[in-house]
Chains A and B, each alone.
Chain A
Amino acid sequence: MTAPEKPQDDLAILLDAFLGELTAMTDQQVLDGEDSAAVQAKGLAMLSIAKQEAARRRLGTAKASLAMARADANLGEDKPVTGEQAKAVLREAANSDKYTLAARQLDELSDEAALGLYRKLIRLGALPGGESGDPQ
């Protein structure tokens, strides 16, 4: 087995080893005198437990990463823009399928609310440091 290029999850290494061992064995060795249906059921049960564990770890990682993501929440635009400029950018974004936008109608939006949405677009990397007009 070659060494992994990047650190792997322990569970993934175990699964790889288990799979490698299984493929190298003959049918008789695999069954080891047991009924094939029972072996299959046992294998599926193990796989299901492993999948469940992997899914739980994914949720755990998401929980742990939340705090880090919140720390970045205060990043704003480099260059100040006016409410009208922000609305112009939002109008462009609303017409592009690269963006998802659920907000009040732009003509009902206050300047402050428009700027709030605009800053979020920047944080998501939509705009180069406060360029207005074209959201690309």
Chain B
Amino acid sequence: MSPGQVAEARIADLGITDPRDIDVEAIAFDAKMIVEYEDLEGCEATLVGVADRAIATIRPSRVRGRERFSIGHELGHWDLHRGKSFSCRVDDPDSNLKSDKPREKEADEYAAHLLMPSSLFNPAVKSLGKPGFRELDVLATQFETSLLATSIRLADIDTLPVVLACYSESGHRWSKVAAHVPRRWWLRSKLDENSFAYSFLVNDTRTNSASKQPGEVWFENDDAEHYEVTEECMPGKSGEVLVLLYLSSSMLNARFDPNVGVRRYNETGSYVKRK
């Protein structure tokens, strides 16, 4: 079973059919993991387990959704990585998102499915059509999650053609792309001056709702100008902007683009161009 399936099985085992019943501390307790809150040095959370009992210590946060995600993450380690020792989750959410440590990724996947199980989250998303950040914020309140985790989960469930990306003035930080969006679409490494995200970050001008943009504003592909995306942005952590893109349906059927990205093709095959 995947980490997400393990988490969702736990939700099903406890007969949870309403987001309000996702009491993450009680779920942890049922798994013999006690949750405590304490200031920690350089960590979001720690986990100490002996045989089949554990104590997870979570750094208190003003954002309850963040605390709940940390609990879900530690429960993920407890369910998936029992008997192992590893470094704790660091206290920088950006580093966690960029982390490529397999165990951390697995625990994050577990937490996302535990707090927003498909059986409850997918129908909620479906009822919203094409949710923007405002609607995602309502969902986040309903599931007691952070807006960031909720937005990432929207891309994860892969029911809508979305790309969630984070940029700073120096460029692309990280992105989550719905799995059915063709990999040929290559996000720009730097913000285009015509993007709303650039206006927000550099000129502090905020566009309040999602608006259409030519594809070339967001993608490096030569043919991007023939397509259209819907862009919405909101402030991320200091000096960063979060962007939610909806791709038009024609972009999902676009053919493979051999000229984009770091891989190049010639008569003998493909190669990766060094920067």
Given contacts A66-B25, A94-B85, contact A125 B13 (CB under 8 A): no
Against B, the Cβ 8 Å flags (1 = close, 0 = not) of A46-62 are: 00000111111011001
Interface residue ranges of B138-169 to A (CB < 8 Å): none
Identify the closest chain B residue to A91 (Cβ): B85
Report the minimal beta-carbon distance from A56 to chain B, rounded to whole angstroms.
4
- A98 touching B57, Cβ below 8 Å: no
Is B54's beta carbon under 8 Å from chain A? yes
A95 to B14, CA, bound (A): 34
Q: Interface with B: A16-24, A36-44, A76-84, A113-121, which one?
A: A113-121
Q: Interface with A: B38-46, B61-69, B122-130, B235-243, which one?
A: B38-46
What number of A residues sit within 8 Å (CB to CB) of B? 39
Given contacts A59-B21, A73-B36, A110-B41, contact A100 B47 (CB under 8 A): yes
Report the minimal beta-carbon distance from B33 to chain A, rounded to whole angstroms.
10
- A100 touching B83, Cβ below 8 Å: yes
Give the dominant DSSP class at B's interface. Answer: mixed
A65 to B31, CA, bound (A): 12
Given contacts A66-B26, A100-B84, A102-B85, contact A55 B54 (CB under 8 A): no
- A95 touching B41, Cβ below 8 Å: no
Chain A residues contacting B43 (CB-CB under 8 Å) are 103-104
Chain B residues contacting A62 (CB-CB under 8 Å) are 26-27, 29-30
Interface residue ranges of B62-93 to A (CB < 8 Å): 74, 77-78, 81-89
Identify the closest chain A residue to B21 (Cβ): A59
Chain A residues contacting B40 (CB-CB under 8 Å) are 113
Number of A-B contacts (CB under 8 A): 118
Is A63's beta carbon under 8 Å from chain B? yes
Chain B residues contacting A108 (CB-CB under 8 Å) are 42
A59 to B12, CA, bound (A): 11
Additional 10 contacts, C-beta under 8 A, given A54-B15, A59-B27, A104-B43: A52-B15, A59-B26, A62-B30, A69-B34, A94-B85, A99-B85, A102-B45, A102-B87, A120-B55, A125-B53
List residues of chain A with CB under 8 Å of any chain B CB: 51-56, 58-59, 62-63, 65-66, 69-70, 73, 93-95, 97-105, 108-110, 113, 116-117, 120-121, 123-126
The contact sample of 8 A-B pairs, CB cut-off 8 A, is A53-B15, A65-B29, A99-B49, A100-B78, A103-B88, A104-B42, A104-B43, A105-B87
List residues of chain B with CB under 8 Å of any chain A CB: 12-17, 21, 23, 25-27, 29-30, 34, 36, 38, 40-43, 45-51, 53-55, 57, 74, 77-78, 81-89
Of all A-B residue pairs in the complex, the 6 with the closest CB atoms, nearest first, are A55-B15, A100-B49, A124-B50, A102-B47, A94-B85, A97-B83
